[in-house]
């Protein structure tokens, strides 16, 4: 490749969660075009297979990994399948996320468990699963897709914000634990992104961030020179939507 940044990702095995639509799909498309070999992980196997077929038609290396990342057994299987079919995981993008947006007094234990298991526990378990191999190789990227909701409170956001504040704390501690081993751990914190994820009542989608904007931030992190790392990116639209 003529682009040295793109060449830095040539053949890099990358596991991306929540990769069948929205931000995760945009990240998968971006990194695969830069030469990465991508494992697309999500719950909808049929949708994943359709996406992988599109990648393969373009000559890109990709596999579908159906998994519910809130389940430890699914995580183990996803990591095992990725490494068996593509090789050791060099980049992990923890993107899978869900949200319930209700006043705290209307929230339920089931909502809490679902959001925290998907948005926070899965990051801990996936990172823990790939870290030993990265430590052995003394290299690797773990990139967590957080949110500006991890820095700012809003009505109806108690459960979601709790998961993203926790994710930022986890990311910072992981970075300190793993940086002596040559592993870089980073967070991307986007504001409102124009996806199907959550309602954006009253917001102009043309002024919102697009999934490709988040993918560009991930590209920037993944192509850093080895002597430095970007610990956190705050991503806002140029105009308030």
Catalytic residue, candidates 55, 160, 166, 214: 160
CB atoms inside a 10 Å sphere around CB 172: 14
Cβ pair 15, 82 in contact under 8 A? yes
Residue 193: DSSP 8-state: B
3-state helix, strand, coil in the chain (%, to 5): 50, 15, 35
d(CA 29, CA 17): 13
Reply yes or no on whether 160 is catalytic. Answer: yes
CA atoms within 13 A on the CB side of 72: 4
d(CA 151, CA 50): 36
The residues annotated with a catalytic role in the active site are 160
């Amino acid at each position: 490749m003529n682009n040295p940044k793109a060449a830095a990702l040539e053949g890099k095995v990358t596991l991306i969660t929540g990769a069948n639509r929205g931000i995760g799909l945009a990240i998968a498309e971006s990194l695969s075009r830069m030469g990465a070999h991508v494992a697309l992980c999500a719950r909808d196997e049929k949708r994943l297979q359709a996406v992988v077929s599109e990648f393969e038609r373009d000559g890109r290396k990709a596999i579908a990994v159906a998994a519910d990342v809130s389940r430890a057994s699914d995580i183990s299987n996803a990591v095992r399948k990725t490494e068996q079919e593509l090789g050791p995981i060099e980049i992990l993008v923890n993107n899978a996320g869900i949200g319930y947006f209700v006043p705290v007094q209307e929230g339920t234990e089931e909502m809490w468990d679902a959001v925290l298991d998907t948005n926070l526990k899965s990051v801990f378990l996936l990172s823990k699963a790939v870290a030993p191999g990265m430590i052995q190789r003394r290299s690797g990227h773990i990139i967590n897709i957080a949110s500006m909701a991890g820095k700012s409170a809003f009505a109806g956001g108690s459960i979601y914000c709790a998961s993203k504040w926790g994710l930022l704390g986890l990311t910072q501690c992981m970075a300190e634990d793993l940086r002596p081993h040559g592993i870089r751990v980073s967070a991307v914190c986007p504001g409102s992104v124009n996806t199907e994820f959550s309602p954006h009542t009253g917001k102009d989608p043309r002024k919102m961030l697009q999934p490709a904007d988040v993918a560009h931030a991930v590209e920037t992190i993944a192509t850093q020179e080895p002597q430095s790392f970007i610990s956190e990116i705050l991503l806002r639209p140029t105009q308030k939507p």
